[in-house]
Structures are given as C-alpha cells and as structure tokens.
C-alpha cells in the first residue's frame, strides 16, 4: 500500500509516535502508565495502545484540508481514559473538518456517539469491513439481495 501510494503521488499518513505500556489494561478502564515512543521503535516488551500527540496533531492538520476522510477503527483503546486521547483528537478534528467525513465500524461509531460528535459526521456505519469493501467497489451480499427484484 505504501509503495502504491508513493507511485501515485498520494500521501499516506501513518502514526509517527505511539503510546506504549507494559500490557493491556485490566480491567479495560484501569489506570495505566504510558510513555510515548517513535512508532518505528516500539520496544519488544511493550504494547502500542494509542497514537501519540505528534500523530494526533498530524492527523488533525490533515483533516482540515481533506475533501474526504474515511475513518475505520479507533486510534487506541478508547474505552480507557488514558488511551482514548488519540481517538478523541481524531474525532474532534473530523467534527471540525469542512470535508466529507465517513466513519466505518462499530467501535468508531460508538466512540463518535459517546464523545458527542456523531451529529457532526457526514455518515456513520457500524459495518466497518463492509464499508471498506463498498468503497473498494465490491458487491455486498445484503445490498445485492435488497436490489435484486
């Protein structure tokens, strides 16, 4: 995907920093100590659990000028207050964006609803994988059956 984007002269944004911790929080909303590291240098004994502040700013800046943004999946473990920062930052940026914002996936939809940004998005679908397949141009069985007369 990265090579294809480069060949087409398209900008592909990937996380540049990551919130890491010793392990997944248990219970999911438990307090957790995180540190931020370069996304290409996540230590083997740590888990990446959210995007970092540099990535939050990068994604928010890109959303300002984007004509269309498709968001599928939270940025981190948004059910945890410490690990929700990336998801909150992206949701805020998309809510303020002038372009079309398409949210796909149950967790992304839930995050937008819980954060109070759902009414600011152009479209929200709980079918994340199906949304991506539809945008790829694939035929969806449920849509095909509904259109079959």
Structure tokens at 14: 């990937």
pLDDT at 148: 66
Picking from 46, 26, 24, the residue whose alpha carbon sits closest to that of residue 35 is 46
More confident residue, 129 or 104: 104
Residue at token pair 């498709």:
70
More confident residue, 28 or 104: 28
8 located within any domain: no
Angle, in degrees to the nearest 10, between helices 85-96 and 106-115: 80
38 located within any domain: yes
Q: Give me the number of domains the chain comprises.
A: 1
First to last CA, the chain: 38
| pTM of the predicted protein model | 0.85
- The Cα-based distances of 78 to 35, 64, 95, 148 in angstroms read 17, 23, 17, 39
pLDDT at 146: 74
43 located within any domain: yes
Residue at token pair 């970092």:
52
**Dihedral of alpha carbons 2, 102, 59, 55, sign:** negative
What does the alpha-carbon distance between residue 71 and residue 89 come to, in Å, rounded to a whole number?
Answer: 13
pLDDT of 126 > 90? The answer is no
3-state helix, strand, coil in the chain (%, to 5): 40, 20, 40
146 located within any domain: no
- Domain of residue 93, residue span: 13-137
45 located within any domain: yes
pLDDT of 136 > 90? The answer is no
Contact between 51 and 88 (Cβ < 8 Å):
no
Residue at token pair 């592909």:
12
What does the alpha-carbon distance between residue 104 and residue 15 come to, in Å, rounded to a whole number?
Answer: 19
* pLDDT one-digit tens code per residue, 74-116: 999 999 999 999 999 999 999 999 999 999 888 889 999 999 9
Output the domain CATH number for residue 75: 3.40.50.1260
Reported as a pLDDT band with limits 50, 70 and 90, residue 149 is low
Structure tokens at 82: 């410490």
Task: Report the chain's mean pLDDT, rounded to a whole number.
Answer: 91
């Amino acid at each position: 995907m990265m090579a294809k984007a480069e060949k087409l002269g398209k900008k592909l944004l990937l996380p540049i920093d990551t919130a890491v911790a010793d392990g997944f929080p248990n219970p999911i909303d438990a307090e957790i100590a995180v540190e931020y590291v370069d996304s290409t240098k996540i230590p083997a004994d740590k888990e990446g659990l959210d995007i970092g502040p540099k990535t939050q700013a990068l994604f928010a800046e890109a959303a300002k000028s984007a004509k269309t943004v498709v968001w599928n999946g939270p940025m981190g473990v948004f059910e945890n207050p410490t690990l929700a920062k990336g998801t909150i930052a992206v949701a805020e940026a998309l809510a303020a964006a002038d372009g079309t914002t398409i949210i796909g996936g149950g967790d992304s939809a839930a995050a937008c609803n819980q954060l109070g940004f759902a009414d600011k998005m152009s479209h929200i679908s709980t079918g994340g994988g199906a949304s991506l397949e539809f945008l790829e141009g694939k035929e969806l069985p449920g849509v095909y059956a509904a259109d079959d007369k």
